[in-house]
Amino acid sequence: MSMTNKTREPKEAALERINNLFGLSLDSAAEDLSSLKDFPPQPVSDWKENAYDILLEDILFIYRTLGDNLRRCDSVNTVGDWCALVERYAQKRPKAFAGLARSWEKEQCMKTARPWRRMLYKLLGV
């Protein structure tokens, strides 16, 4: 995936985030709007975060940015809930959403980049 400046739809970005975190195909997450807890778990590691932890951090970040009550985080139980939250975020804060979508895309690109390139990006702060 290449990093581009094109504007993506919020639902597309939300589904892609789920797919990248859990290693699913776009169609399986889009067709099956099931519970997020039904996705395949990743092994617990001391060295990297679990996909569920990363998704929870994204949910908390969006709620904080929107100024909503953090107790509502429990209301995101399905892929549809996640997509609706991201769409609401994009509607209320379009520039912030564009930055968040770029950071998700960069994070995905960093996973596939060669080690020397990752080091160069970190040194340059890209």
Q: What is the pLDDT of residues 96-109, one digit of tens each?
A: 999 999 888 888 87
pLDDT of residue 111: 74
pLDDT tens figures, 32-75: 566 777 777 677 666 777 888 888 899 999 998 888 776 666 77
Using one digit for the tens of pLDDT, what is the confidence trace for 79-92?
A: 888 889 999 999 99
pLDDT band at 28 (very low <50, low <70, confident <90, very high): low
For residue 4, the model assigns a pLDDT of: 46
Dihedral pair phi/psi, residue 35, rounded to 5°: -65, 145
Domain spans of the chain? 10-124
Cβ proximity of 121 and 110 under 8 Å: yes
Burial of 54: CB neighbours in 10 Å, binned 0-12, 13-18, 19+: middle
